[in-house]
Structure 1
Amino acid sequence: MNPEVSIYCTVKNAEETLPATLRSVAEQRAVSWELVLLDDGSSDRTLALLRSFARVFPDGMVRIIPSGGIGRGAALNRAWAACRADYLANIDADDLFHPHKLALQLAVMRAYPAVQLLATDSLYIGAAQSPRWPELPLPSATSVAPPAGEIPEARDITALLGRFNPVNHSSVMIRRAALERVGGYNAERRAQLDYDLWIRLAAAGCRLHQLDLPLSAKRLHAAQSFEGRVSASYIFSSFVLQNRAIRALGLPPRYYALSALRVPYRLLPRALRRLLALPKRVLLSRPAR
């Protein structure tokens, strides 16, 4: 019998963060799951850690795919294509799941068939930190839709795609059919593969919904290769993606102006950006009169 949710994870040289990530998957409650792990040519102890973890579970529950090094986009596509469930969830090799994440998202998506792509709020933690998860009730059942009163409310945040990438990749659950409809990730891209995917899904009619519950944690550390080292090419790529989203969603013209104004601001040195933001922070910190 197929699992209710398939989790896929692509990993390369993540021996420091991987154990905590795998534990957070193993701690998922009230839902049947499988984990597809694609090792994209690791040269450290990552593959040994994956094999040790897989041995703890019944055959087929945790599957390892060595790729030899095919790149992030191709690795993501190979990983989700190997999944068996109708509901899919990515987890990056340095991020974490709340123990109730999959069960709560699954309950919402079963209750609301129109929800194709469901993100959650995220906590942000340092390299050596653990998240302080909130205590949350589990739905009474996930095999059928639980009573409406037990289902968290999901809000539509699709329009935010015209301003920035509003969700953590590891927070998302998606219907397999939706991912198949757009052909998965764009393997030609080197960065922002998730943002590109959300925009293509939105253009195909899939709305982006979010639970305002912190059910995932994003780890910030020096080894990351994307937002931590924002370059001019990254800023321009963001600008192009924002404008694609604005066109696809038919957003008002002011979104184009805001997107253009954001480019020179983001090119400023970080210290200057913080200085420019200081008056706003001071104003917001003043008590109401």
Structure 2
Amino acid sequence: MTAVSFLCTVKNGGDLFMETLKSIRNQTFRDFELVVVDDGSTDRTNERIRKFANENRFPVTLVTTKGVGRGRALNLGVEHCKGTYIMIVDDDDPIHPEKARIQHEAGRSNPEYTVLCTRAFTLLNEDEPEWREISETGEDPLDVTDRVYIKNPVIHSSVMIRKEALEAEGAYDETRKSQFDTELWLRLVTNGHRIGQIPYALTAKRAHRNQAFERKKRLAFLTRTTALQLKYLKKAGVPPYYYVFPAAKFAYGLLPRAVRVQLRKSREQV
């Protein structure tokens, strides 16, 4: 059985997606496969994925749809993954060359965690990441399970999740239109699963104006996110003070994009 399955969903990915694929190809850990779901691209994305697959020796599975939506595309990818662990990588987020090795080692050493995420840093527009060399990787993951209810610390592109547990919990909620990852973390934690964070920045979270959060109505997005968080806070029966955090997150999301990006980068430097 393959140790790790990288899973990407994409639609009209362009050059940024190809940079993400190259970062997967450059992994030092080699016991992996790549599953790509092309969800109805109308550009050259499908052709470029096939060319990439032919140029590399690791297994690449391409699933092509006519446009089934993000939730179904993610679950189609999960169904095709053969790895013990699944690493989700969003189509515009490059990853550290040591990401698979470090997370796989941590997963084997810490079986109590269903999900292991990493730290991430913000990458603006088409900038290229400058990865730090990592020589020591012995630190234990930080348990961030309860933080999911307060301010989600899990970047989708940073996660490694045990496939067996993901399938047992029904994988992604296909009835949703957005916040597929946030809903999954909240559901997993509410059902007793634990999430650990590896203290290394192994993912670059790219921020650009073409992202769904920026190009669509931000108020509607924030309203749906807050409603989702309140739903799971109620299910979990958490202390009353937890309900302050969704309001704070809503207010933060209303700040101008430039301010949010600067605040995020300032936190990453601490």
Q: Is the 2:19–2:94 contact (alpha carbons within 8 Å) kept by the matching residues of 1?
A: yes
1:1-289, aligned counterparts within 5 Å? 2-58=1-57, 61-137=59-135, 151-226=138-213, 229=216, 231-260=218-247, 262-263=249-250, 265-266=251-252, 270=256
CA apart distance, 1:240: 1.5
Partner of 1:146: none
Question: Aligned to 1:17, what secondary structure does the other structure show?
Answer: helix
Distance 2:113 2:202 in 1: 18
Q: Is the 1:10–1:38 contact (alpha carbons within 8 Å) kept by the matching residues of 2?
A: yes
What do the CA deviations read for 1:205-227 (whole angstroms, capped 9, x no partner)? 11111112100111111221125
Q: Is the 2:151–2:245 contact (alpha carbons within 8 Å) kept by the matching residues of 1?
A: no
CA apart distance, 1:137: 2.6
Question: Aligned to 1:226, what secondary structure does the other structure show?
Answer: helix
CA apart distance, 1:239: 1.3
Segments of 5+ residues of structure 1 without an aligned counterpart are 139-149, 282-289
**Cα RMSD over matched residues?**
2.3
Distance 1:68 1:268 in 2: 34
Distance 1:114 1:81 in 2: 24
Q: TM-score, with normalisation over the residues of structure 1?
A: 0.84
**Once superposed, which parts of structure 1, at least 4 consecutive aligned residues long, lie more than 6 Å away?**
none
Segment of structure 1 superposing worse, 90-99 or 254-263: 254-263
**Paired residue total:** 262
CA apart distance, 1:243: 1.6
CA apart distance, 1:170: 0.5
Distance 2:221 2:200 in 1: 29
Looking at CA atoms only, which structure, 1 or 2, has the larger radius of gyration? 1
Q: Is the 2:149–2:242 contact (alpha carbons within 8 Å) kept by the matching residues of 1?
A: yes
Distance 2:4 2:139 in 1: 19
Question: Aligned to 2:126, what secondary structure does the other structure show?
Answer: coil
CA apart distance, 1:4: 0.9
Q: Is the 1:34–1:61 contact (alpha carbons within 8 Å) kept by the matching residues of 2?
A: yes
Distance 1:188 1:135, change over 3 A: same
Distance 1:152 1:69 in 2: 42
- The code of the aligned residue for 1:270 comes to P
What do the CA deviations read for 1:91-119 (whole angstroms, capped 9, x no partner)? 11101110000110111110111111000
Between the aligned residues of both structures, percent identity stands at 36
Segment of structure 1 superposing worse, 236-245 or 113-122: 236-245
CA apart distance, 1:248: 4.0
Q: Is the 2:219–2:254 contact (alpha carbons within 8 Å) kept by the matching residues of 1?
A: no
Distance 2:9 2:66 in 1: 12
Distance 1:96 1:105 in 2: 16
Distance 2:241 2:200 in 1: 30
Question: Aligned to 1:34, what secondary structure does the other structure show?
Answer: strand
CA apart distance, 1:259: 2.5
